[in-house]
Amino acid sequence: MARPELIKNIPREQRLSRLAPENEIVLKTTKEIVVKFIEMGRCSPGTFEEVFKLVFRTIKETVVEE
């Protein structure tokens, strides 16, 4: 964990934009899967939000179970 005195020197925007490593991996994996769904025609702009959330939740639950 970063020391509090070092965190104070990081601009607020950078502190908020950081993800936990686990969440970053889940997010990148979700992106790759949804991109494949789009390429295959199984996801459209109208269903993107729903599909992305479902895939993200499924991957997150799988990672947490282990």
Q: What is the pLDDT of residues 2-59, one digit of tens each?
A: 555 555 566 666 555 677 888 889 999 999 999 999 999 999 989 999 999 999 999 9
Distance between CA atoms of residues 43 and 34, nearest Å? 7
Distance between CA atoms of residues 19 and 32, nearest Å? 18
pLDDT category at 66 given cuts 50, 70, 90 is: low
pLDDT at 15: 56
The DSSP call for residue 1 is: -
Task: Classify the phi-psi angles of 41: left when phi > 0, otherwise alpha if psi is within -120 to 50, otherwise beta.
Answer: left
pLDDT at 19: 74
pLDDT category at 1 given cuts 50, 70, 90 is: very low
pLDDT at 23: 86
Distance between CA atoms of residues 45 and 40, nearest Å? 13
